Chain A
């Protein structure tokens, strides 16, 4: 029997596609670890995305209720394992806040050097894997080439390449080794011109711009409502950086350091260096801008480390020996957020007056940054999901804790 091809109703039934639920992850290469996204799709169009997390949950907070604050430092390394130093710093500061302990000046400069090196290492991975998500393999290798050198510097400082536990309550576990500052300076000298390569490979690459500009645009109101922080918040044009705006206990580390918050203000980014121009297609708050903020922060971190090296080598006094915490903690509670590479990492410590904390809470920046993905990934193409999730730069170890 011949079918009546001119009947519009039959054609309609024939080409209509059904809605389908597709699992993306938990082992998908572009979900940055073990993130599972359940997509409701109609053909190539995604109408709804539901993130499922918890595959890396280790209940670090429960463990924290059974250890002294110094014993818990290694567990913070394993949260954001790409920026272990910055996690250590956040926890050390909140314990110092509870103890009301003031750090010697030299220790503060040491922390600035280490934390900003950690920021560069972390942003390099963020940049490399973002390229990987979008199908460009080479930037990943370029990023890891330089990151290795930072890990070598860290290894010399504390013996570890990933889980450092170096910055701790009271300062750091040891002073910087002799000759380390010269090596660090030599690295910066070599690294600074390399950044132009990254800009050529990704930032200004026309394929990259087409894949990211105008994709996943987040309004400033949305970013604030969902508690986004770090480059995700600043990529939407909100002028907030805890290194300048945070609590005094944290901002005093950066006292006297010259730096501008990387954010688009009055229609332009800071002009302290020669940055590539913003492409015409990009709009504020899209995936491209989040990436751009990260790249500019790498340059800013170099400046901060150089200033830190100057101050560290001219200041006298102790480098900050760790406090012996075999005494009881004072009863009370303290909460402090720091500007980690991926956003505002907060720790909450409740003490009942014994040697181990009564309650420990880690407020993860990626946790909030990822929760906004549900809103950003509505009515988009499947191929744009890696671009959006990659631009949020999440680390599952920190989300699941």
Chain B
């Protein structure tokens, strides 16, 4: 099976919750609504033709240009993308699933955007989602143990956000 057939299958099952796709990209990707991400993942895992039983990677990309002059030229609105790289051990094929989130929940700065956790589908997501929470600032709902994983627990901010500012000081250690 290849990109188009996954897309057809998803469209037949989830209708307009499949919000976008690019099958001509270097790695074909399908974008779905955050509300159905767990159902989509479970479908992709359990559908015999797809059988995506292996989660390679979860990551997030922050689309935000802090420089106003450059921001005027960008083609996208500021947003955050959560990217899931899937792989099937049985069929040896791969797929990329994306979810678009606002940078801040309800546009209130400091309120982390939320999406459901896929730990119940792939336990491998546990640590990956903790890392995305830690570094990119995405809150995964129903995650069993959403704590910082790489940064210390009392760290402030999410370093891979584009508007992140390096702290001047941490525990008496000079930062800049």
In chain A between 147 and 204, which residues have their CB closer than 8 angstroms to a CB of chain B?
none
B122 contacts A by Cβ under 8 Å: yes
Q: How far is the CB of A92 from chain B (nearest CB, A)?
A: 16
- Neighbouring A residues of B53 by C-beta, 8 Å: 224-225
Q: In the complex the two chains form, what is the Cα distance from A226 to B150 in whole Å?
A: 19
Q: Given A61-B135, A335-B57, does the pair A54, B150 have CB atoms closer than 8 Å?
A: yes
Are A224 and B159 in contact (CB-based, < 8 A)?
no
With A and B bound together, what is the CA distance between A240 and B88 in angstroms? 11
Least CB separation from B121: chain A residue: A225
Q: Is B30 in contact with chain A by the CB < 8 A criterion?
A: no
Q: Is A97 an interface residue (CB 8 A)?
A: yes
Expressed in whole angstroms, the minimum distance between the Cβ of B147 and any Cβ of chain A is: 10
Q: Which of B94, B159, B160 has the most CB of A within 10 A?
A: B160
Q: How far is the CB of B152 from chain A (nearest CB, A)?
A: 7
Which of B27, B57, B127 contacts A371, CB < 8 Å? B127
**Which chain A residues (47-103) contact chain B, with CB distance < 8 Å?**
53-54, 57, 59, 61-62, 97-98, 100
Contacts of B61 in A (CB 8 A): 350, 358-359
A348 B83 Cβ-Cβ under 8 A = yes
Residues of A contacting B101 with CB < 8 Å?
Answer: none
If A337-B56, A363-B56 touch, does A54 touch B160 (CB 8 Å cutoff)? no
How far does the alpha carbon of A359 sit from the alpha carbon of B54 in the complex, in Å?
A: 23
Q: Which of A225, A238, A332 has the most CB of B within 10 A?
A: A225
- Chain B, 31-88, CB within 8 A of any chain A CB: 53-57, 59, 61-62, 74, 83, 85
For A400, the chain B residues whose CB sits under 8 A away are 150
Which listed residue, B26, B62, B96, B149, touches A53 by the CB 8 Å rule? Answer: B149
Q: How far is the CB of A47 from chain B (nearest CB, A)?
A: 17
Q: Report A-chain residues with C-beta under 8 Å of the C-beta of B59.
A: 348, 359, 361, 363
Q: Which residues of A contact B141 (CB under 8 A)?
A: none
Q: Is A285 an interface residue (CB 8 A)?
A: no
CB neighbours (8 Å) of A332 from chain B are 25-26
Instruction: Render B81-117 as a binary contact track against A, CB cut-off 8 A, 1 for contact.
Output: 0010100010010101000000000000000000000
Q: Which of B27, B55, B160 contacts A334 (CB 8 A)?
A: B27
Question: How far, in Å, is B148 (CB) from chain A's closest CB?
Answer: 8
Interface residues contributed by chain A, number (CB under 8 Å): 36
Complex contact B54–A98 (CB within 8 A): no
Beyond A54-B149, A334-B26, A359-B61, whether A371 also contacts B124 by CB under 8 A is yes
Q: Mark A278-318, 1 if CB is under 8 A from B, else 0.
A: 00000000000000000000000000000000000000000
Q: Are B54 and A371 neighbours in the complex by a CB distance under 8 Å? A: no
**Contact (A368, B122) CB under 8 Å given A54-B151, A98-B26, A335-B96:** no
- Nearest-CB distance from A248 to chain B (Å)? 12
Given A57-B151, A335-B57, A346-B57, A227 contacting B124 (CB threshold 8 A): yes
Which residues from chain A contact B26 at a C-beta distance below 8 Å? 97-98, 100, 332-334
Q: Chain A residues near B62 (CB, 8 Å)?
A: 359
> Is A367 positioned at the interface, with any CB of B under 8 Å from its CB?
yes
CB neighbours (8 Å) of B150 from chain A are 53-54, 57, 400-401
The answer to whether A224 and B89 touch across the interface, beta carbons within 8 angstroms, is yes
State which residues 209-268 of A face B: CB under 8 Å.
224-227, 238, 240, 245, 247
Between A and B, 12 residue pairs with Cβ closer than 8 Å are: A61-B160, A226-B123, A226-B124, A240-B89, A245-B92, A247-B94, A333-B26, A335-B27, A348-B59, A358-B61, A371-B126, A400-B150
A interface, CB within 8 angstroms of B? 53-54, 57, 59, 61-62, 97-98, 100, 224-227, 238, 240, 245, 247, 332-335, 337, 344, 346, 348, 350, 352, 358-359, 361, 363, 367-368, 371, 400-401
List 18 other contacts, CB 8 Å, given A348-B83, A368-B127. A54-B152, A59-B135, A62-B159, A100-B26, A224-B54, A227-B122, A238-B89, A240-B89, A245-B92, A334-B26, A335-B57, A335-B85, A335-B96, A337-B56, A348-B85, A358-B61, A359-B59, A401-B150
